[in-house]
Structure 1
């Protein structure tokens, strides 16, 4: 369809390695392989609240899937997501009628995402002063961007997963996922910005549900991944001491286990498999040869 250009966009959102791997086993862009890019600055909003960017993405994706199905003998499609794309598609599916999902979605293959966000994302949100005096141009751009992107609020640790576990540690107090509003205030966000987190982003993470279509989740493990940030002197503008756990370098194992609990516990979920690939990074899942072989194998299995 016109909204998503397969040739120019599917390769330009860091998916080129996966696209080429799929082409080697017979997929062809514009025929049975399509790209559905999204603007990563935005995010789904809570039910009942307007989100024009996400609404536009959802409408375009729905029509693309219907058209792709029609072009391929009216077969249902396999959705493949990476990172934030998994959140977009999970919310998208939840907002579509179950009858439509069962008609058009054969399988969801979700790469490098759990549920519940990541403590790593609390760091750039804290670094307002770093943006004013960046050590590099890249650091300044990322920090300014991260603080202004709605998607960063959606990727913050969810109380549903982390509860009162300390995630940011200072001499005077600790901050857990349940203290996120207080943490954002301490990091310099305005009352209006904190209110947007509470009303728009938090309800999305608290209400994520199983997609109710066959699903395979693939995640990397065995890579040091931030579990906690230590700003001992309370200066959020500085570089914190990082306390690492397991994961893929960005998505920690706790959120992956939470996904297993969420999806596996739903009696209406028709099929779910979780695959953990050792020593695989967030980006490596769609670029490393060994990981790509496993990903393509799962996609082919889902398609058969």
Structure 2
């Protein structure tokens, strides 16, 4: 009787120890996947147009793959750049298309050149993730070994990204990184709209896949409930407060891109607050986005609003450790007043007045803080006076991201050592009893 109880107790210990193994990430350093934000990916294009835009005689009608966004050469021909980057949506087929004769794709998939800086030829002057990448390299990370970039076509919404294979490619990139670093799970770092794309993707992966492949999801400056500044881009254009750039220069792209409505403010956060107003007394709230787009004759974005905005609103539940970093105490626009009687197909001038509040200069603080809605596994880190993009260059924030990754690596190392010790204890405890049980089974068979 006593021997039977002891056997059961040891078997219970073995079950507990085996269960602990499932909670441990036994392996080395977590591979890191970097996902940029809106306009943060380098894009390249190939053009083969029989009759290239005759009204733009200085546009190249034919050329092989070369950097489109962002390069000084492309920027020197703004009409060509903006025309070539426009997306067309076919409502009959539900498909997204480039301009005829134009192919566009992310640059250096899996590598770092497509995410480190806006202009690959001038990284020192256009760095985005450059500081973080250099910091991780200082810690021993190596490009394409355990440090990867996942640039994407930021013109598209989640549906469009699905069509061009971004999420399939991201899955394969993560699986390859985990397989190439045995015993590890990947850490995802996503900025701004990249965090929404990552959320859309993770919400459609099964818990079993996430448990096997994802160690943590680190978001930076994510507009979890959208941003009123996205409205300004579609209405009158957004020059990101760079005085040398005309306010409406990018409007042809901003007012047609499917990703624009994805970033529009969510009605459940903004409620009845008036976000856009005209001199003639027209008032638009977050829930009035489609009406506003129709009033501006932006029929494509009006048609795509539901397909785009619903991708991540309301926020889905994710079963993954999350760390959300954002800036604050930076004056941030959240309402705009336009000096026109009513909106029409003619683009209005820049806003005559703006109403501001707390945020990171691009996203309101309430939208940034909405990360808490993902659940109790979320930890939020606020970096005062850090701007939406500037946070990626702020030393404290970059160090914070690296510390989060390194803490996870250290924890995994300690867990691995701990598990090895438990394995030794389990083996020493169970070995004699396994022999006894084997003898008893053999005796039972003989009888």
Distance 1:235 1:17, change over 3 A: farther
Give SS of 1:206's match. Answer: coil
| Cα displacement string for residues 205-258 of structure 1 (whole angstroms, at most 9, x for unaligned residues) | 423313210000000001001111112544661121111111111111010232
Displacement of 1:290 after TM fit? 2.7
Displacement of 1:138 after TM fit? 5.7
Aligned residue in 2 for 1:158: 266
Residue 345 (structure 2) pairs with residue 239 (structure 1): no
Displacement of 1:150 after TM fit? 0.8
2:209 corresponds, among 82, 95, 100, to 100
Alignment of 1:114-193 (within 5 A): 114-127=223-236, 139-171=247-279, 172-190=281-299, 193=301
Give SS of 1:295's match. Answer: helix
Q: Please say if residues 153 and 197 of structure 1, whose CA atoms lie closer than 8 Å, have aligned partners that are also in contact.
A: yes
Displacement of 1:137 after TM fit? 6.1
Displacement of 1:273 after TM fit? 0.3
Aligned residue in 2 for 1:203: 310
Gaps of 5+ in 1: 46-50
**TM-score, normalised via structure 2 length:** 0.60
Q: Please say if residues 42 and 54 of structure 1, whose CA atoms lie closer than 8 Å, have aligned partners that are also in contact.
A: no
Q: Please say if residues 315 and 374 of structure 2, whose CA atoms lie closer than 8 Å, have aligned partners that are also in contact.
A: no
Distance 1:301 1:160, change over 3 A: farther
1:75 corresponds, among 181, 184, 192, to 184
Q: Which has the higher contact order (CA 8 A, sep 6+)?
A: 1
| Cα displacement string for residues 133-160 of structure 1 (whole angstroms, at most 9, x for unaligned residues) | xx96664442111112111110111113
Q: Please say if residues 362 and 388 of structure 2, whose CA atoms lie closer than 8 Å, have aligned partners that are also in contact.
A: yes
Give SS of 1:204's match. Answer: coil
Distance 1:302 1:291, change over 3 A: same
Q: Please say if residues 220 and 282 of structure 1, whose CA atoms lie closer than 8 Å, have aligned partners that are also in contact.
A: yes
Aligned residue in 2 for 1:252: 364
| Cα displacement string for residues 146-176 of structure 1 (whole angstroms, at most 9, x for unaligned residues) | 1121111101111132122211123413211
Q: Please say if residues 117 and 158 of structure 1, whose CA atoms lie closer than 8 Å, have aligned partners that are also in contact.
A: yes
Give SS of 1:208's match. Answer: coil
Distance 1:288 1:102, change over 3 A: same
Q: Which moved more, 1:13-22 or 1:66-75?
A: 13-22
Aligned residue in 1 for 2:165: 56
Give SS of 1:280's match. Answer: coil
Q: What is the CA–CA distance in structure 1 between the aligned matches of 2:115 and 2:272, rounded to whole Å?
A: 40
Alignment of 1:281-296 (within 5 A): 281-296=387-402
Displacement of 1:6 after TM fit? 1.0
Q: What is the CA–CA distance in structure 1 between the aligned matches of 2:301 and 2:389, rounded to whole Å?
A: 30
**TM-score, normalised via structure 1 length:** 0.86
Displacement of 1:114 after TM fit? 3.4
Q: Please say if residues 218 and 277 of structure 1, whose CA atoms lie closer than 8 Å, have aligned partners that are also in contact.
A: yes
Q: What is the CA–CA distance in structure 2 between the aligned matches of 1:282 and 1:186, rounded to whole Å?
A: 30
Q: Please say if residues 224 and 244 of structure 1, whose CA atoms lie closer than 8 Å, have aligned partners that are also in contact.
A: yes
Distance 1:139 1:239, change over 3 A: closer
Aligned residue in 2 for 1:300: 406
Q: Which moved more, 1:173-182 or 1:285-294?
A: 285-294
Give SS of 2:323's match. Answer: strand
Q: Please say if residues 282 and 342 of structure 2, whose CA atoms lie closer than 8 Å, have aligned partners that are also in contact.
A: no
Aligned residue in 2 for 1:279: 385
Q: Please say if residues 337 and 354 of structure 2, whose CA atoms lie closer than 8 Å, have aligned partners that are also in contact.
A: yes
Q: What is the CA–CA distance in structure 2 between the aligned matches of 1:58 and 1:136, rounded to whole Å?
A: 37
Alignment of 1:15-54 (within 5 A): 15-45=129-159, 51=160
Give SS of 1:250's match. Answer: coil
Q: Please say if residues 39 and 53 of structure 1, whose CA atoms lie closer than 8 Å, have aligned partners that are also in contact.
A: no
Distance 1:181 1:10, change over 3 A: closer
| Cα displacement string for residues 73-130 of structure 1 (whole angstroms, at most 9, x for unaligned residues) | 13111000111110110001011111101110000000001311100111120127x9
| Cα displacement string for residues 246-281 of structure 1 (whole angstroms, at most 9, x for unaligned residues) | 111111101023222x213xxxx6x21011110101
Gaps of 5+ in 2: 1-106, 119-127, 411-447
